Chain A
Amino acid sequence: MSEKAAQVRIALRNCGVIDPENISDYIATDGYEALAKALFSMTPDEVIETVKKSGLRGRGGAGFPTGIKWETARKSQSDVKYVLCNADEGDPGAFMDRSLLEGDPHCILEAMALCGYAIGAQEGIIYVRAEYPLAVKHLQLAIRQAEALGLLGDNILGGDFSFHLSLYFGAGAFVCGEETSLMNSVQGGRGEPRIKPPFPAVSGLWNAPTNINNVETYANIPQIIRNGWEWFRQFGTEKSPGTKVFALAGRVNNVGLVEVPMGTPLRTIIEDIGGGIQGGRRCKAVQTGGPSGGCIPAEHLDTPIDYESLAGLGSMMGSGGMIVMDEGDCMVGIAKFYLTFTAEESCGKCTPCRIGNRRLLEMLTRITEGEGRMKDLDELDILGNIIKDTALCGLGMSSPNPAISTLRFFRDEYEAHVRDKRCPAGTCKKLVGYKILEDKCMGCTVCARNCPVSCISGARKKVHVIDQKRCVKCGVCHSKCPFDAIARG
C-alpha cells in the first residue's frame, strides 16, 4: 500500500493545497459555502441537528459529542454567548493544529461563525499558542480578509447575523488546554481549572454560555454542513465517525501528519503509511495521547483506532500525538519523561495532581537510577489510580496513564531495573556505562574525535581510555566505533 492509499483527508483537505494567505483560494475550494447555506437555508436548530447526527466527537481528547455541546450552549439563555477555539496545542510531539491553522485558517473561521450562528453567539476568540508565529500571522490575515468580504463582522453576507473574531495568545502553560483553565487565562488570570459543573456551555467565559472546541473538531464542521451528516458518517466507525489526524513521529521512516478514517488499525499507520521502523528494527510500543495517554505494546498493533479501543488499552486518543518506539527505547524512561512534564506543568491547584505526580516521578526516578524497590511497583499503580480518581481536571485525571500503562504491559522491564539493576534498552544512564575493550581497540581515534565532551584519550594506534567521570553516556562512541571495541553495560 502506498503512503497515501490508507489516508482520507477531511480536516487536512486544503493543507498544502491552497495558498493560506489568499481567501480566494479557500473560496475556490467551496470555502464559506457552508456558512452561506446555513445562514440562508437552515435554522440554528437544523445546524445543530446536522452536527449531532454526524456523530462528530471532540478531537482534542476525550471525544465528547460536539453536537450535544452546541445544543447545551444554544439552550442556555443569555444575551451574550461566546465561541472559543482551543488552539493551545501543548502536547509535546503533536502539531496537527499548527498545520491546520497555518495551512487552512479560513476553515476554522468559517466553522466558528457556523457555531456562533447555531448557538446564538456574536463573538468568538481563538486561543492560540504564542509559540506558533506563522499560525498567528495567517489567522490575523485571514480574519482581515474575511471581514473585508463581509464573511465576518456585522451583517454577514448582508443578512442579520453578525459575528466578530479575535485572537488571544497563550503564554506557555500546558494546563491551558483544559477548557476552564483556558477561560481563566482569557480573563487575564492564572490558567487554573475549576470544578465542572457548571459546564462552559452553561457558564463559561465571563460566566456567559460558551462553546469551546479544538481546532481539528472545527475543521470538520464546514464540510459536515455542506455535504450533510450522511456523507460524514460514511467514514470511520459507528461510534467514532469521520477521520482523525495524527502526528506520527519517533522511530518510523516517514514522519509527519497522517489523516485516517477512525477504525484504521495502528499497524496500517505505522507500517504502510509510516513505512515501518527505521533501520529495520522492531516496533516495541506506540505512545498515543501525549502526556495523558499510554504506551500500547506491539502485540496490540491490530487494534482499530477509536476512542473506546484506545481507552480500553489504558491510553487515549488525546489530540493525536503518535510516537513510535523500538527496542532501543526504555519504557520506564518514557514514563519518567512524561511524568517530568506533567509534574512541571501541574498548575498546583489540587493536591492529587500537585503532590501525587511528584511522588510518582520520584518513584520512577529511583527506578531508573537502580534504587527502586519492588514495592514501588505496586505503589506506582495504587497511587496512579488514586490520582486519576481524585484530581480536579483532565490533566491530573490522565497524567498517571503513561506510568500505569507501561507498568501494565512492560512489568518485566520495570522488574529488570529494580531487581537486576539493569536497563534492557540500555538508555537509563545510571544503569549503563561504556568501556573500551583493550583487545579490540585499534587506536583509530574515531571515538575520541566524535566524543562531544572530549573525555576519550589515547595516542594514535594505542588503546584509548574513557574518562568515566566526564563521560555523559551519550553512546556516540559506541555507535561510531568501526571495530565494535566499545562495550555497553
Chain B
Amino acid sequence: MTQETAEWTEPAEPAEGYPEIDALFDSLPNKNGALIPLLHKAQEVYGYLSQEIQVYVAQKLNIPAAKVFGVATFYSLFNLEKKGQFKINVCLGTACYVRGAETILAAFEKELGIDQTETTKDGMFTLDSIRCVGACGLAPVVMIDDKVYGRVTPGDVKTIVDEHLGQGGQ
C-alpha cells in the first residue's frame, strides 16, 4: 500500500461540527463498520480528509484517532491533502501500459512541471496515476475528474491541459 507522506502532528481541536457526517451517521442502521462510509462521505463533501475531520469521525465512532488514520492511509481513494482543481489521472492498468501509458504520464509531468502525486503551484492540477478504469478498449486512457479521454497520444497532452486552463478559476 502506498503510504501517505502526511505526518501526524498534534491533533487540532475538531471544528464545531460536520452536519453531513452527522446526518449519515444518524441514518446508518448499523453503526458497526461505519468508519469507511463516513470517510467516503467526508471526502465527497470536503474534498479531503483533514486531521480535524479524522479526529471528529474518531470521536463520533468512539474509536482511537489512530485507527481512523490507519484506515485513511490504507486505502488509495482517500486523500489526506487538498487536491488541485482538476485531478488528472493517467491509467496505468495493463492494457494502457501496453499501449504506452508511461509515455503519456511523462508528457504530463513535463507539461505541468510536476511529478506524479504532486499539485501545481497555482492549485490547478493534481497529477496522479490510477489502476484501470475498466475502459481498456480505449487504451491508453486519461481521466480528468470524471471525464475520460481515450486513445491519448503524447501530442494530445498539451491540448488537454490548455483546454482545462481555459476553464480554470471557476
Binding site for B on A (CB under 8 A): 89-95, 98, 130-133, 168-175, 185-191, 206, 247, 249-251, 255-256, 287, 290, 321, 323, 325, 329, 337-338, 341, 344-348, 450, 452-453, 472, 474-476
Q: How far is the CB of A449 from chain B (nearest CB, A)?
A: 9
Q: How far is the CB of A365 from chain B (nearest CB, A)?
A: 14
Tell me if B92 and A92 are in contact (CB < 8 A).
Answer: yes
CB contact list, B37-58 vs A, under 8 A: 37, 39-40
Tell me if A474 and B100 are in contact (CB < 8 A).
Answer: yes
Tell me if A171 and B134 are in contact (CB < 8 A).
Answer: no
Tell me if A474 and B94 are in contact (CB < 8 A).
Answer: no
Interface residues in B, total, Cβ within 8 A = 45
Q: Of the candidates A171, A173, A247, A346, which one forms a contact with B40 in the assembled complex, judged by CB atoms under 8 Å apart? A: A171
> Given contacts A92-B131, A171-B39, are A347 and B110 in contact (CB under 8 A)?
no
Q: How many Å lie between the Cα of A189 and that of B132 in the bound state?
A: 24
Question: What residues of B have a CB within 8 angstroms of the CB of A185 in the complex?
Answer: 36
Q: How many Å lie between the Cα of A452 and that of B159 in the bound state?
A: 11
Can you offer 23 A-B residue contacts whose CB atoms are under 8 A? A92-B92, A95-B132, A95-B134, A98-B134, A131-B77, A168-B36, A171-B75, A172-B78, A188-B32, A188-B33, A188-B35, A190-B74, A255-B137, A290-B94, A323-B98, A347-B74, A453-B107, A472-B106, A472-B107, A474-B154, A475-B103, A476-B153, A476-B155
- 3 tightest A-B CB contacts, nearest first: A452-B154, A171-B75, A92-B93
Q: Is B127 an interface residue (CB 8 A)?
A: no
Q: What does the 1/0 interface line of B74-100 toward A look like (CB < 8 Å)?
A: 111110000000000000111101111
> Given contacts A171-B36, A187-B33, A191-B75, are A93 and B93 in contact (CB under 8 A)?
yes
CB contact list, B48-75 vs A, under 8 A: 67, 70-71, 74-75
Tell me if B132 and A92 are in contact (CB < 8 A).
Answer: yes
CB contact list, B108-154 vs A, under 8 A: 110, 130-137, 139, 146, 153-154
> Given contacts A92-B92, A98-B134, are A188 and B71 in contact (CB under 8 A)?
yes
Tell me if B98 and A132 are in contact (CB < 8 A).
Answer: no
Q: Is B21 an interface residue (CB 8 A)?
A: no
Q: How many Å lie between the Cα of A255 and that of B135 in the bound state?
A: 10
Q: Identify whether the interface residues of A are mostly helix, strand, loop, or mixed.
A: loop
Question: What residues of A have a CB within 8 angstroms of the CB of B36 in the complex?
Answer: 168-169, 171, 185, 188
Q: How many Å lie between the Cα of A89 and that of B154 in the bound state?
A: 29
Q: How far is the CB of B110 from chain A (nearest CB, A)?
A: 5
Question: What residues of A have a CB within 8 angstroms of the CB of B70 in the complex?
Answer: 190
Q: A344-B2, A452-B155 are in contact. List 6 more A-B contacts (CB 8 A).
A: A92-B132, A171-B76, A175-B1, A188-B34, A247-B136, A255-B95
Question: What residues of A have a CB within 8 angstroms of the CB of B133 in the complex?
Answer: 131
Q: Of the candidates B32, B135, B154, which one forms a contact with A187 in the assembled complex, judged by CB atoms under 8 Å apart? A: B32
Taking CB as reference atom, which chain B residue is nearest A94?
B132
Taking CB as reference atom, which chain A residue is nearest B143?
A131
Q: Of the candidates A91, A250, A452, which one forms a contact with B103 in the assembled complex, judged by CB atoms under 8 Å apart? A: A452
Q: How far is the CB of B29 from chain A (nearest CB, A)?
A: 9
> Given contacts A171-B77, A173-B1, A173-B76, are A186 and B100 in contact (CB under 8 A)?
no
Question: What residues of B have a CB within 8 angstroms of the CB of A321 in the complex?
Answer: 94
Question: What residues of B have a CB within 8 angstroms of the CB of A187 in the complex?
Answer: 32-33
Taking CB as reference atom, which chain B residue is nearest A191?
B74
Q: How many Å lie between the Cα of A168 and that of B139 in the bound state?
A: 29
Q: How many Å lie between the Cα of A91 and that of B75 in the bound state?
A: 16
Tell me if B136 and A90 are in contact (CB < 8 A).
Answer: no
